[in-house]
């Protein structure tokens, strides 16, 4: 190839890259403006004291729950992401109003979801405002979460004992470790981070198969510390790879590497990412079916929440790896973002109850939240957009 051709090829590649960057910047800015409008629609229908979860298109009614519901922090967290990008004063006011409702959760010890409930909300609020009262609530919430740590199994118990499980630990629990890590690193008790590390280490040993896919639930015997069984609650089968669960795992170990710089967490995250991205059942638009082993493909339901979650996790993971993996993870996340922002998954303005994304699946085996908007799908989608803008624009 002549020097002239080489220079021409490099110039074309540069121009193509610039055009792609401009397209992504335009898309992301547009998505946040859209989100602000949609969430103003959503705000008008939320009953006092409740937090929004989903929308029933058949009855045209919002579905909202009490603040003890595990998803209660995502609405406020989404508002803070929207405010960060738009500086919309009305959105900020709504975010603060939602925080006030959540404050009693800081002493709640009924489940393991305090990270979802209080860090997605107050964590983003403190990051953007620096208000000491928000930090104090995060620290108190970390203390509450730490009470669920069981030294007999070196893990945080997810749900209370019930007729199905003795001492269940679910892969979702990896997400709640972020609040514990942050609390210790920001003036809190060092035990919080120690608990997070122990839990993450135990989960590597007991939750994962050789191909880096994860079981959903591991049930323990507290008297002996031994594993009783490995099962699922929301997946297609005990041995299947429930899609959102794989996303929780990917995000969780990427986050653990951020806080500890322990290479085993990075290795785990890379292994999970490779399982997801190279799976033969991952569709071309990279928005997973609700389970990687779901029956009746390609007619199975998709899970936009899993796609949004995985996109956000891949963007962070791309910051910690070599150039080849970085480009692979970034490229996959771009495809997911472009898919979710298209007509197939994104609502029209004023529709979908005010939620942004359609076609999420909560718990198909339980006949719960099938092919509906879900508040955490919006949250991780907005986070993915913000992360892409921060790191690549």
Q: Which residues are annotated as a binding site for substrate?
A: 113, 172, 232, 244, 248
Q: Which residue has the tokens 């962070």?
A: 316
In a domain, 388, yes or no: yes
Answer whether residue 12 is part of any domain.
no
In a domain? residue 220: yes
* Domain-embedded: residue 11: no
Q: Is 98 left (phi over 0), alpha (psi -120 to 50) or beta?
A: alpha
Contact 317/273 with Cβ under 8 angstroms?
Answer: yes
Residue 148 lies in a domain: yes
State the burial class of residue 177 (Cβ atoms within 10 Å of its Cβ: 0-12, 13-18, 19+): buried
With a CB cutoff of 8 Å and minimum separation 6, the contacts of 196 are 177, 180, 181, 184, 256, 259
Binding residues are 113, 172, 232, 244, 248
- Give me the active site residues, please: 113, 172
pTM for the model: 0.95
Tell the residue number behind the tokens 């955490």, with chain if given: 376
Token pair for residue 56? 């029933």
2 belongs to a structural domain: no
Does 342 reside within a domain?
yes
The answer for 296, left when phi > 0, alpha when psi is -120 to 50, beta otherwise, is left
Read off the CATH number of the domain in which 190 is found. 1.50.10.10
CA–CA separation, 272 vs 187, rounded Å? Answer: 32
Number of domains observed in the structure of the chain: 1
pLDDT in tens, the chain (393 residues): 565 555 444 444 555 666 778 899 999 999 999 999 999 999 999 999 999 999 999 999 999 999 999 999 999 999 999 999 999 999 999 999 999 999 999 999 999 999 999 999 999 999 999 999 999 999 999 999 999 999 999 999 999 999 999 999 999 999 999 999 999 999 999 999 999 999 999 999 999 999 999 999 999 999 999 999 999 999 999 999 999 999 999 999 999 999 999 999 999 999 999 999 999 999 999 999 999 999 999 999 999 999 999 999 999 999 999 999 999 999 999 999 999 999 999 999 999 999 999 999 999 999 999 999 999 999 999 999 999 999 999
In a domain, 1, yes or no: no
Cα separations in angstroms, 37 against 61, 352, 355: 19, 13, 10
Show the domain range for 332. 21-392
**CB of 196 closer than 8 Å to CB of 327:** no
């Amino acid at each position: 190839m002549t020097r002239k051709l080489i220079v021409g090829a490099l110039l074309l590649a540069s121009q193509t890259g610039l055009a792609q960057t401009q397209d992504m910047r335009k898309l992301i800015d547009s998505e946040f403006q859209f989100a602000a409008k949609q969430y103003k629609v959503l705000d008008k229908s939320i009953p006092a004291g409740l937090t929004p979860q989903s929308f029933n298109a058949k009855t045209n009614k919002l579905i909202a729950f009490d603040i003890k519901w595990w998803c209660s922090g995502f609405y406020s967290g989404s508002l803070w992401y929207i405010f960060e990008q738009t500086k919309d004063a009305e959105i900020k006011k709504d975010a603060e109003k939602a925080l006030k409702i959540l404050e009693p959760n800081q002493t709640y010890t009924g489940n393991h979801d305090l990270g979802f409930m209080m860090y997605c909300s107050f964590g983003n609020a403190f990051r953007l405002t620096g208000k000491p009262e928000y930090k104090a609530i995060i620290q108190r919430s970390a203390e509450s979460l730490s009470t669920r740590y069981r030294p007999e199994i070196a893990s945080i118990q997810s749900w209370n004992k019930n007729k199905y499980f003795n001492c269940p630990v679910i892969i979702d629990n990896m997400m709640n470790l972020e609040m514990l890590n942050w609390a210790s690193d920001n003036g809190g008790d060092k035990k919080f981070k120690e608990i997070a590390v122990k839990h993450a280490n135990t989960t590597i040993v007991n939750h994962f198969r050789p191909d880096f896919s994860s079981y959903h639930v591991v049930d323990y015997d507290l008297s002996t510390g031994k594993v009783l069984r490995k099962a699922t609650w929301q997946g297609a089968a005990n041995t299947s790879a429930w899609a959102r669960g794989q996303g929780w795992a990917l995000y969780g170990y990427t986050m653990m590497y951020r806080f500890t710089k322990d290479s085993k967490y990075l290795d785990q995250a890379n292994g999970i990412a490779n399982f997801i991205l190279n799976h033969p059942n991952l569709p071309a638009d990279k928005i997973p079916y609700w389970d990687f082993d779901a029956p009746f493909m390609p007619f199975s339901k998709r899970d936009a929440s899993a796609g949004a979650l995985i996109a956000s996790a891949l963007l962070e993971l791309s910051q910690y790896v070599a150039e080849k993996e970085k480009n692979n993870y970034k490229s996959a996340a771009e495809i997911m973002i472009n898919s979710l922002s298209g007509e197939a998954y994104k609502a029209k303005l004023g529709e979908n109850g005010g939620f942004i994304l359609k076609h999420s699946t909560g718990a198909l085996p339980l006949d719960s939240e099938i092919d509906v908007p879900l508040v955490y799908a919006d949250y991780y989608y907005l986070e993915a957009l913000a992360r892409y803008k921060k790191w690549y624009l």
